[in-house]
Structure 1
Amino acid sequence: MNSWHERPRAAFDLETTGRDPHTARIVTASLVSVDEGGDPVQEREWLVDPGVEIPAEAAAIHGVSTERARAEGLDAATATAGIAEALAGLFDAGIPVMAFNAAYDFTVLANECARYGLQTPTATPVIDPFILDKQMDRYRRGKRTLVALCELYGVRLEAAHTSAADALATIGVADALARRYPGLCIDAAELHARQIGWCAQQAASFQEWLRRTNPEAVVDGVWPVRLMPAAV
């Protein structure tokens, strides 16, 4: 049986209004599907009017202003429904979806679906190069951003921080990890299950380190969708 990185697969990426996945709104979304050899066979993109102001800091990263989103974007409910439907189709077909730091993107999507009364797709199988890299090379120093991992694994990344470019680069990094670490070349559903445990362990280790200076530090290790924190 071929490994997941030698079979049809896809990648998902969002650009949003902010860093907090519980409050961020979708501005752009991309879903890229590739064939067994990693060549793109379909690219779907959404430009969204999030219904709120896009902060200048966020616009500076992804290049979409409030004015452009309002003039050219789909309304948020329609766009979210389309994104959720497209992802559900892939998951129902058993096609793994790559997402870098997947807990961010899928949490944003889950909150958007809840906001508009839509059904959230069950996110499985998901493959997250951010989790895989931390697990396979846990003591390496330096940044673990998508840009940094593209440089490390020799993956071409053009127009970083646009959702389409980031999605395609995510597939490239995931494939590079599979080639470097044969232990990752297992069934996609089994790899998804292992990442749940790996993320929890990574979060617990980071939380322990933070608590050396901040006893109240909390790191959420739930993956790939994190629930809204309970009100205090």
Structure 2
Amino acid sequence: MCAARSIRDCLLVLHLERPLVFFDLEATGTDPQTARIIQIGMQRFVPSDEGAALGETLDVLVDPQEEIPTAVTDLTGLAPDAVRQAPPLPDHLDRLAQLLADADLAGYNALAYDVPLLQAEFERHGRTLPGPDDRVVLDPYRLEQVLRPRTLSALYERYTDRTLDEAHDALRDVEATGMVLQRQLAEHDIDGTPAGLAQRIRGDYLDDQRRLKQDGDAVVVCFGKHDGKTLREIQAEHADYFEWMYETIDDLRPHIDDALE
């Protein structure tokens, strides 16, 4: 299994057409448009007769030149003093550009977070993230969603080792849903009220449709043409859109009121 082996071993089953850079970014927040990078890890692989050969490895701290939240320090274990003594991002951009210019990318949840963050950081310094026009971003998180379908039938078979007969019969689906939930709670040793479980599912999001997300003291909009901006930014800079959102989306109104009071 790849889990017990190195990335190099796993790449033996891939057929590289050009370099592939595995990368991960640690940053000051969860919003890629406003966060600042504090650590970069990269491994660049190049095509070889054996599948892939490790080229360069990059592991650097980056001074974000702003306050590092305590929650980020607790999560990453990176000492703030060490980070603040590191070179700022502009000092790393030339080397990053060399590693990325001709490469595809790979990273866990990279499509939603790491790639947008890297693009935003390059743009903040007047540069464009280099790369092929047809660059591929290989995201194991997204691949897992494809490999393990989340339909009721798939979950039922996964948790019970039985095929769900009569799927899409309403009562049969109700019974199967109850069985799946029971097995999920037992397997992961979870208990609690429905409200508590719903909050666990919701996480940092304020609504079940994941349209608003708490990010420190700010609330970030996660949909539409202003995706990634805070409510306060939209209120100040896009008043018409803010008014439309507030007046039209009834279930978000209480969250908006709480966030802006």
- Normalized against structure 1, the TM-score is what? 0.54
In 2, Cα distance between equivalents of 1:215 and 1:28? 28
Comparing 54-63 with 78-87, which one deviates more in the overlay? Answer: 78-87
In 2, Cα distance between equivalents of 1:41 and 1:215? 39
- Bigger radius of gyration among the two: 2
In 2, Cα distance between equivalents of 1:100 and 1:214? 23
Counting aligned pairs with the same residue, the percent is 28
CA deviation map 1:74-94 (0-9, x unaligned): 11222244323421232xxxx
CA change 1:46–1:221 in 2 (3 A) is farther
1:18 aligns with 2:18: no
Gaps of 5+ in 2: 1-10, 153-204, 213-220, 239-261
Shift of 1:221: 9.8
In 2, Cα distance between equivalents of 1:213 and 1:50? 33
Pairing 1:68-107 to 2, within 5 Å after superposition: 68-71=82-85, 73-90=86-103, 96-102=104-110, 103-107=112-116
Shift of 1:4: 7.4
In 2, Cα distance between equivalents of 1:20 and 1:46? 21
CA deviation map 1:44-63 (0-9, x unaligned): 12210011111111112222
The answer to whether the 8 A contact 1:51-1:76 is kept is no
Count of residues in correspondence between the two structures: 154
The answer to whether the 8 A contact 1:12-1:30 is kept is yes
Pairing 1:52-71 to 2, within 5 Å after superposition: 52-71=66-85
The answer to whether the 8 A contact 2:44-2:99 is kept is no
In 2, Cα distance between equivalents of 1:214 and 1:227? 14
Comparing 116-125 with 106-115, which one deviates more in the overlay? Answer: 116-125
Q: Secondary structure at the match of 2:78?
A: coil
CA change 1:221–1:38 in 2 (3 A) is farther
Equivalent residue for 1:126, pick from 128, 137, 158: 137
In 1, Cα distance between equivalents of 2:150 and 2:211? 25
Higher RCO structure, 1 or 2 (CA under 8 Å, sep 6+)? 1
AA aligned to 2:78 is: V
Gaps of 5+ in 1: 91-95, 142-209
In 2, Cα distance between equivalents of 1:133 and 1:108? 22
In 1, Cα distance between equivalents of 2:224 and 2:141? 13
AA aligned to 1:108 is: L
CA change 1:63–1:126 in 2 (3 A) is same
Shift of 1:213: 5.5
Pairing 1:56-205 to 2, within 5 Å after superposition: 56-71=70-85, 73-90=86-103, 96-102=104-110, 103-122=112-131, 124-139=135-150
Q: CA RMSD in A?
A: 3.7
